[in-house]
Chain A
Amino acid sequence: MAARKTTAKPNVSPEELTQYYRDMLLIRRFEEKAGQLYGMGLIGGFCHLYIGQEAVVVGLEAAAEEGDKRITSYRDHGHMLACGMDPNGVMAELTGREGGYSKGKGGSMHMFSREKHFYGGHGIVGAQVPLGAGLAFADKYKGNGRVTFTYFGDGAANQGQVYETFNMAALWELPVVFVIENNQYAMGTAMKRSTSTPDIYHRGNAFGIPGEMVDGMDVLAVKAAGEKAVKHCRAGKGPYILEIKTYRYRGHSMSDPAKYRTREEVSKMREERDPIDHVREMLVQGGHASEEDLKAIDKEIKAVVNASAEFARESPEPALDELWTDIYAEAAD
């Protein structure tokens, strides 16, 4: 991976940088809290934490405009918080409560917000890729100039439907940014054991889709790459691929002991490449924030996360009637 950059790029103001810090920290603290609640039995089933990958969604959200869409897999809490969904609603969905985004009927892997243009939250590896291209298809059909960020992992990159989608997205010049969040492990299988070539973004070449590799531990590098990709899509030039190299600190899900990698590998990444520490340094070294300022932000975030946990505990379980609702939509007319 490229050496860490230590200075803010000129197009980022101290205020923006502070905002990225705040957004990434919210995801980190939220996920830590979710891990705690899981341990307490308040969250059930599968729970895939985003810790370590925060710069990816925060950097790309910084490149998005109002009305742009996003869709991802089951490791989705970070995406929801980054696009402005309410932490209370997300946490209450994790606990399966009425106040959750899906009224408790979706869970960790299945949350949505039409208001924030977040289209899920999909549990089948790779299935969100054609869905994301379909959202882009709808935008192109309507001619509204919107772009869809379609996130998937290095594991999903081996699904056949991804390449079926690349073909059609290129053929029909769909405004979609394919974001490959390469955290280097498809569940427990290291990329070199699952993937025939080291650079996944090269696979777009076969379809005439431009792509690039991005340092996913550097929020500014992600933002810059995202802006380039979005500009390409909005200009009507079709899809763009960003392979964003990142790292998840936790296991694949809460039940994964992560025996397939060494403790040293994880701690080296945390110590040397942590995306939040990186921004923190930039803020302090650039004289944009004092230690006190940052502490205040930490405290503020902690309060938001604690409140979401409180809300998620207090929110009642869905009424039993909810079992039978939302199976079919009623005709509007």
Chain B
Amino acid sequence: MPTEILMPALSPTMEEGTLAKWLVKEGDTVTAGDVIAEIETDKATMEFEAVDEGVMGKILVTEGTQNVAVNTPIAVLVEEGEEVPDLARDQALAAQPAEPAAQPAAAAPEPAAPAKVEAARPEPDWPDGTKTKKQTVREALRDAMAEEMRRDGDVFLMGEEVAEYQGAYKISQGLLDEFGSKRVIDTPITEHGFTGIGVGAAFGGLRPIVEFMTFNFAMQAMDQIINSAAKTLYMSGGQMGCPIVFRGPSGAAARVGAQHSQDYAAWYAHIPGLKVAMPYSASDAKGLLKSAIRDPNPVIFLENEILYGRSFDVPMLEDFTVPLGKARIWREGSDVTIVSFGIGMTYALEAAEKLAEEGIEAEVIDLRCLRPIDTATVIASVQKTNRCVTVEEGWPVASIGNYISATLMQQAFDWLDAPVINVTGKDVPMPYAANLERHALVTTPEVIEAAKQVCYR
């Protein structure tokens, strides 16, 4: 009986990949464990092994094909002497492999990967008529670092696997080649130590970018970030500035359990002396990171692993920056204000589209920065809509949503027609089981429900 070989998921967040190379051809006999193809994921090029034995009956996806969705049939294995079946359906699939939204039926709906919503964009950060290009968040972050490193010789990147490995999440791809090992530095796995060295280098006049493979590991370095980087300017009466960027992914990826799934937005936003950015789109990732690198203060730059592979319009401008501390209105609306940031924007925007179908026009605000936090934009919006829902992946206690709610109560009490609702991640450590993880995270239906509730609908 013929067996379909499916495009494998080779990383926790992989949704699609490139079939880089076939190592077998039609008619070849394969046994289980043979490497049959090379597949490029968002992180690395992986060898793909056969799990069954048989003869390669038909290759359905040719090598070099990009954006092959996980679970797409890529070849058919037949038994010795067996006919290759009629594969019209599969060939049709193979002919248009670049449609990530057309997930194969086998894949369960994944709340972390909803359809892209990029329709409304009332406040772009670039002038009308500027040419844009599609770029992933990953590429935008790399370009931001490369541009700033070209601009200023004191900027350098250090972290685990940033140089020769080209970045654990491929953010620093190509930087070692361009800037060399003096400025793109692999560190040992020693967060506490290399964070302190980075902060010391900033005191000594350099502008380090410290990459944490994920911000979960930065907890080992918390003392250096807060006690040394954030407070020294104040403690020195203004003498000892610390121009440094700490960047890396924060928040849940997919199925990596409690110690690797945590949103640090509220933690860092608490600290005077730090600035905290958490971009959603690729253009914001680029523009905010460039501003962060130029900023004379320590900046926590919270990225998201799931967003790394998403594409957005990025303006083709020579030097595109986005100021720290200014929110962006993604979608105008008059009925309810939805405030979010980072991956929370995915749910906020999706909810807004669905609410519009039901006649509720939501205004969606991306805070982009959590310190300084642009409450003025939120207040102005609520003065128009009179209702507000906040959306974040982090936990509910002492959350960013709590702060927004308190600010609205103090500064826009008379405009509020309903209590503000904070939609957050559930108040539990992240479980591993797929169904439990889906429930622990924010979901779009929860945002829709909260918006209806504040609209008394």
Contacts and interface: CB of A to CB of B under 8 A. Distances in A.
Interface of A: 69, 71, 100-106, 110-114, 119-124, 127, 129-139, 141-142, 160-161, 164-165, 167-168, 171, 325-332
Contact of A161 (B187, B193, B201): B193
Contact of A168 (B193, B233, B297): B193
A123 B197 CA distance: 17
Contacts, number: 153
A136 B203 CA distance: 10
Given A129-B196, A130-B192, A330-B296, A102 B206 contact: no
Q: Report which residue of B188, B193, B275, B296 has the largest number of chain A beta carbons within 10 angstroms of its beta carbon.
A: B193
A134 B236 CA distance: 18
Interface stretch (B111-119, B142-150, B220-228): B220-228
Contacts of B205: 138, 142
Interface stretch (B238-246, B279-287, B357-365, B408-416): B238-246
B235 interface: yes
B237 A165 contact: no
Interface in B140-162: 156
A149 to B, nearest CB: 13
7 nearest CB pairs, A to B: A134-B200, A130-B196, A164-B193, A138-B204, A103-B237, A131-B200, A102-B237
A130 B201 CA distance: 10
B15 to A, nearest CB: 37
Contacts of A134: 196-204
Contact of B197 (A130, A142, A326): A130
A141 B185 CA distance: 12
5 contacts: A71-B200, A105-B237, A110-B236, A119-B200, A127-B228
B89 interface: no
B203 A135 contact: yes
A127 B237 contact: no
Nearest to A318: B237
A331 B223 CA distance: 25
B143 to A, nearest CB: 21
Contacts of A171: 188
Nearest to B233: A326
Contacts of B236: 101-102, 106, 110-112, 120-121, 326
B202 to A, nearest CB: 7
Given A133-B197, A135-B204, A331-B296, A141 B156 contact: yes
B196 A103 contact: no
Nearest to A113: B239
Nearest to B240: A112
Q: Report which residue of A131, A135, A326 has the largest number of chain B beta carbons within 10 angstroms of its beta carbon.
A: A131
A329 B296 contact: yes
Contacts of B202: 134
B201 A137 contact: yes
A329 B200 contact: no
A112 B235 CA distance: 9
B324 to A, nearest CB: 10
B260 interface: no
A328 B299 CA distance: 11
Contacts of A110: 232, 235-236
B267 interface: no
A141 B294 contact: no
B272 interface: yes
A160 B272 CA distance: 27
Contacts of A103: 237-238
B179 interface: no
A136 B196 CA distance: 12
Interface string B294-328: 11110000000000000000000000000000000
B191 to A, nearest CB: 9
A123 B236 CA distance: 13
A330 B324 CA distance: 13
B214 to A, nearest CB: 19
A111 B240 CA distance: 10
B273 interface: yes
A321 B190 CA distance: 40
Interface string B229-258: 000111111111101000000000000000
B190 A327 contact: no
A133 B196 contact: yes
Contacts of A138: 200-201, 203-206
B126 interface: no
Contacts of A139: 204
A122 B232 CA distance: 9
A109 B235 CA distance: 9
Contacts of B234: 105, 326-327
Contacts of B198: 134
A331 B325 CA distance: 14
Given A105-B234, A112-B236, 6 more contacts: A130-B193, A130-B196, A133-B200, A137-B204, A161-B192, A164-B194
A130 B297 contact: no
B182 A141 contact: yes
B41 interface: no
B444 interface: no
Given A132-B200, A326-B233, A127 B295 contact: no
Q: Report which residue of B197, B223, B234 has the largest number of chain A beta carbons within 10 angstroms of its beta carbon.
A: B197
Contacts of A330: 296
